[in-house]
Amino acid sequence: MTRIVEIPLWALLLLCAFAAVTFASNFLFPSVRWFFRKRAERLVARLNTRLTRPIEPFKLARRMDTINRLTHDPAVAQAIIDHARTHRIPEEVAFETARRYAREIVPGFSATLYFSIAMRLSRWLSRSLYRVRVTGEAEALADIPSDATVIYVLNHRSNMDYVLVTWLAARQTALAYAVGEWARRWPLRPLIRALGGYFVRRRDLNPLYRRVLARYVQIATEKGITQAVFPEGRLSRDGALQAPKLGILSYLVTDHDPEDARDIVFIPVALNYERVLEDRVLIAAGSKGEHAFRLRWWTVARYLWRHLQLRVTRRFTRFGYAAVSFGQPVSLHEFLWQGHDDPTGALAATLLDRIEARLPVLPLALVSEALTEGHRTLPEIAAHLDARAETLRAAGHPLHHASRDASEVSLVALRMLEVRGALRIDGDVIQPQPSWDEVFAFYARTLPAQKLL
């Protein structure tokens, strides 16, 4: 028992490594997880005392528990059987495929990351890049029953939408939202998942995947999880509102029983920016007919480096307004009682109509519209802005501008375009660059009613 045993150094190091892993797995990691989980539970308890809509237990469930629950759901189980029969494979193989889909979809929400870091970062980023203006929020949220599930329905202008809405909704609750393939790359994937985002495929769809995704959305909705939905499905390539994609909405409407299920209240939210960060990339993708657009990493790095230089030298000026306007809510129970041949399509059309009815009107869009119509002097552009603003204000659209003088408002917007090299200002004469015509048309189409087509 006391003999000395000689072993090679590599074997000793390997033995110590196995011992360390075993110790960590059985003693250290469980203690660390317990410590952080207790802290998270205390944080959630404090948050729920001030949030208008407390965080639901389903959102805080362990991710693996939710995956197991989803893969053993009766509807998913039937889809697994059908998938196995269709593809002539063992049910065990189909089950593992469904489980892989569930692991891909189900988020792993972290209240600490969401409220302590993401919310503060999104607030700082939104305010540092834009002059944020919000209208109609209190009225839209005033009469919603406490036991109803709230779904924010938004038009999709920019990837900044996620940042802006995360901050604004944090005063009410924590949002869950669907994200596409772009967010599945490292390091975005673990971050988005921890913030409550669930991943949705745009390609390689099949009935089994659709059933797993549908059941996750339906279960989360049944448990009262507040969500954000972009019915357009992708960023607008030309600035105008796009035709709705019915995927997520169809999951919410299908099999919904107004007599037994909790009500779902859809809140239309209209977003507009004086500067869409991806405008040139989106326009290029639209002109090429590309379904998806790509941001090259070196393009992003070059932009960030230039932005940092402007920040350090204090030459950076914000990108104008980012405006958010809340529309009239839609109760799914009341909507279904009206009777529709195609309830999902009718609901999507109603929500987009209400979004368009509340689209904020911003000075740069009006100036861009004037340029597309051939106005080339400051007085002409100011007169156009004054007339159009009056018409849109009468139609109920929120207008945001820093001054009541149309000439001054127009000049500020023109200066923003001049800084980007889109035009030259020579006294009262405006000289647009021909290469920017598509950009002017892009922002003109963000206007509601009588948009340039």
Q: What is the pLDDT of residues 153-169, one digit of tens each?
A: 999 999 899 888 888 88
Is 44 a residue whose pLDDT tops 70? no
Is 429 a residue whose pLDDT tops 70? yes
Helix (H) or strand (E) holding 229: strand 227-229
Is 30 a residue whose pLDDT tops 60? no
The model's confidence at residue 11, banded by pLDDT at 50, 70 and 90, is: confident
Is 67 a residue whose pLDDT tops 80? yes
List pLDDT tens digits, range 108-124.
888 888 888 888 888 89
Lowest mean pLDDT among 36-40, 79-83, 367-371: 36-40
Average pLDDT over residues 383-392: 93
Amino acid 186: pLDDT: 63
Question: How is residue 112 written in tokens?
Answer: 């600490």
CA-to-CA separations, 216 to 79, 93, 225, 431, in angstroms, rounded = 14, 21, 11, 54
The model's confidence at residue 452, banded by pLDDT at 50, 70 and 90, is: very low
208 SS3 class: helix
The model's confidence at residue 450, banded by pLDDT at 50, 70 and 90, is: low
Question: How is residue 308 written in tokens?
Answer: 């940092």
CA angle, corner 348, sides to 347 and 351, nearest 5?
A: 85
Beta carbons of 83 and 232 less than 8 angstroms apart: no
The model's confidence at residue 404, banded by pLDDT at 50, 70 and 90, is: confident
Instruction: Give residue for tokens 């805080």.
Output: 60
Amino acid 79: pLDDT: 95
Helix (H) or strand (E) holding 177: strand 176-179
Amino acid 20: pLDDT: 72
Of 24 and 184, more confident? 184
Handedness of CA 427, 273, 402, 118 (dihedral sign): negative
Amino acid identity at 379: P
> Cβ–Cβ contacts within 10 Å for residue 100, how many?
14
Helix (H) or strand (E) holding 366: helix 363-372
pTM: 0.85
Instruction: Give residue for tokens 């600490």.
Output: 112
Amino acid 54: pLDDT: 81
The model's confidence at residue 27, banded by pLDDT at 50, 70 and 90, is: low
DSSP string, 267-308: EEEEEEESS-TTHHHHHHHHHHT-SS----HHHHHHHHHHHH
Nearest to 432 by CA among 361, 375, 357, 360: 375
> Cβ–Cβ contacts within 10 Å for residue 163, how many?
19
Average pLDDT over residues 250-272: 90
List pLDDT tens digits, range 266-280.
999 999 999 998 899
**In this prediction, what percent of the chain has a pLDDT beyond 70?**
88
Rounded Cα distance, 375 and 385, in Å: 11
Is 73 a residue whose pLDDT tops 90? yes
Nearest to 267 by CA among 109, 52, 120, 415: 52
Of 194 and 152, more confident? 152
Question: What is the three-state SS of the chain?
Answer: CCCCCCCCHHHHHHHHHHHHHHHHHHHHHHHHHHHHHHHHHHHHHHHHHHCCCCCCHHHHCCHHHHHHHHHCCHHHHHHHHHHHHHHCCCHHHHHHHHHHHHHHHCCCCCHHHHHHHHHHHHHHHHHHHCEEEEECHHHHHCCCCCCCEEEEEECCCCCHHHHHHHHHHCCCCCCEEEECHHHHCCCHHHHHHHCCEEECCCCCCCHHHHHHHHHHHHHHHHCCCCEEECCCCCCCCCCCCCCCCCHHHHHHHCCCCCCCCCCEEEEEEEEEECCCCCHHHHHHHHHHCCCCCCCCHHHHHHHHHHHHHHHHCCCCCCCCEEEEEECCCEEHHHHHHCCCCCHHHHHHHHHHHHHHHCCCECHHHHHHHHHHCCCCEHHHHHHHHHHHHHHHHHCCCCECCCCCCHHHHHHHHHHHHHHCCCEEEECCEEEECHHHHHHHHHHHCCCCCCCCC
**In this prediction, what percent of the chain has a pLDDT beyond 90?**
48
Beta carbons of 332 and 253 less than 8 angstroms apart: yes
Average pLDDT over residues 374-401: 93
Of 159 and 84, more confident? 84
Amino acid 177: pLDDT: 85
Average pLDDT over residues 139-145: 89
CA atoms within 13 A on the CB side of 374: 0
Non-local CB neighbours of 75 within 8 Å, separated by 6+ positions = 211, 214, 215
Question: How is residue 145 written in tokens?
Answer: 């029953």
Question: How is residue 167 written in tokens?
Answer: 């901050």
Of 197 and 67, more confident? 67
Is 453 a residue whose pLDDT tops 60? no
Is 147 a residue whose pLDDT tops 80? yes
